[in-house]
């Protein structure tokens, strides 16, 4: 599983997907998640929008989107297009099993106030965080020094034929979802269970939000909320069939030096089928 570790990639993802904006939500949505034909094709939409699954703000940049096949190998996107408000691409499912479509990045950033009271940061926007240069560029006795290790991950899953689980193997890097219930085996009225991990350990107390698609046609968000337990587990009971958007974030002070805090954001799209 490939995880991009450059601050350049992280900055690009942050800029293109507006993670820090409550109004804009990033998503990757397949036309279908469960397919039975031999070597089927699936079309995907990807965007950053105000309403879930209604492209009305900006396209999701595809440079950082990867696909993992059921055997763990990488698969290329096909017929990729970036429009004004959405990106689209196709995926041919040549092997039976579950595929993961994802965008993942992580990076480190330092912020502080210098002797003149000016705010400083390292690395500069658009530059990689070369840890060999950390001590040279970041004064350890700087005022209000904060060193953050951040990770961002957006995922969705599609299955051709019989579901498989190879793509769920944790990388143990950053903030990740480990399904207990297979994400392509979700049905209205049933409860699904998941685990959230931070660097391979349970993410305790993470707040999870789930929204159904079609927000444009509702007067309320109808948000579903959950909190992870001591094992990082949480459960969602699906109220109806349809496409759902899950989002959660996490922060603690257990980062590895020189970072003083670690942060993570995770987003996924799930299809819930009727009984």
CATH number at residue 225: 2.60.40.1930
Instruction: Give whichever of 6-10, 47-51, 193-197 has the largest mean pLDDT.
Output: 193-197
Overall number of domains in the chain = 1
Per-residue pLDDT band for 23 (boundaries 50, 70, 90) equals: low
Strand partners, 24: none
From 17-21, 101-105, 121-125, 135-139, the region with the lowest mean pLDDT: 17-21
Residue 254 lies in a domain: yes
215 or 237, higher pLDDT? 237
236 or 105, higher pLDDT? 236
Residue 135 lies in a domain: no
Per-residue pLDDT band for 247 (boundaries 50, 70, 90) equals: very high
* Closest by Cα among 207, 181, 14 to 103: 14
Look at residue 114 and tell me whether its pLDDT is greater than 70: yes
Residue 25 lies in a domain: yes
Residue 188: domain span: 7-106+148-272
Residue 133 lies in a domain: no
Per-residue pLDDT band for 258 (boundaries 50, 70, 90) equals: confident
Give pLDDT, residue 201: 96
The token pair that represents 29 in the structure block: 């949505």
Give pLDDT, residue 124: 83
From 90-104, 123-137, 200-214, the region with the lowest mean pLDDT: 123-137
Distance CA 120, CA 194 (A): 39
Average pLDDT value for residue range 37-42: 94
pTM of the model: 0.85
Give pLDDT, residue 65: 97
Residue 47 · residue 82 · CB < 8 Å:
no
Q: What would you report as the CA-atom Rg of the chain, rounded to the nearest whole angstrom?
A: 19
Residue 94 lies in a domain: yes
pLDDT above 70 coverage of the chain, percent: 91
Residue 130 lies in a domain: no
CA distances (Å), 154 to each of 120, 162, 177, 215, 246, in order? 29, 24, 10, 20, 10
Residue 262 lies in a domain: yes
Per-residue pLDDT band for 15 (boundaries 50, 70, 90) equals: very low
């Amino acid at each position: 599983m490939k995880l991009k570790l450059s601050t350049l990639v992280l900055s690009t993802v942050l800029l293109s997907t507006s993670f820090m904006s409550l109004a804009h939500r990033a998503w990757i949505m397949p036309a279908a998640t469960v397919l039975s034909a031999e070597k089927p094709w699936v079309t995907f939409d990807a965007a950053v929008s105000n309403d879930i699954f209604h492209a009305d703000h900006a396209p999701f940049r595809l440079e950082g989107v990867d696909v993992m096949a059921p055997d763990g190998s990488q698969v290329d996107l096909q017929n990729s297009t970036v429009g004004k408000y959405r990106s689209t691409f196709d995926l041919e499912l040549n092997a039976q099993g579950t595929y993961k479509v994802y965008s993942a990045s992580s990076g480190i950033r330092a912020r502080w106030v210098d002797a003149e009271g000016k705010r400083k940061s390292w690395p500069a926007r658009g530059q990689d965080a070369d840890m060999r240069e950390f001590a040279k560029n970041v004064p350890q006795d700087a005022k209000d020094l904060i060193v953050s290790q951040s990770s961002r991950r957006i995922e969705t899953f599609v299955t051709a034929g019989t579901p498989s689980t190879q793509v769920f193997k944790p990388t143990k890097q950053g903030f990740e979802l480990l399904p207990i219930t297979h994400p392509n085996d979700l049905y209205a009225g049933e409860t699904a269970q998941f685990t959230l991990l931070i660097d391979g350990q349970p993410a305790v107390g993470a707040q999870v939000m789930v929204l159904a698609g079609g927000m444009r046609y509702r007067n309320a968000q109808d948000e579903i909320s959950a909190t992870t337990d001591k094992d990082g587990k949480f459960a969602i009971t699906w109220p109806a069939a349809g496409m759902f958007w899950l989002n959660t974030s996490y922060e603690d002070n257990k980062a590895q030096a020189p970072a003083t805090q670690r942060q993570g954001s995770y987003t996924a799209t799930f299809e819930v089928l009727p009984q």
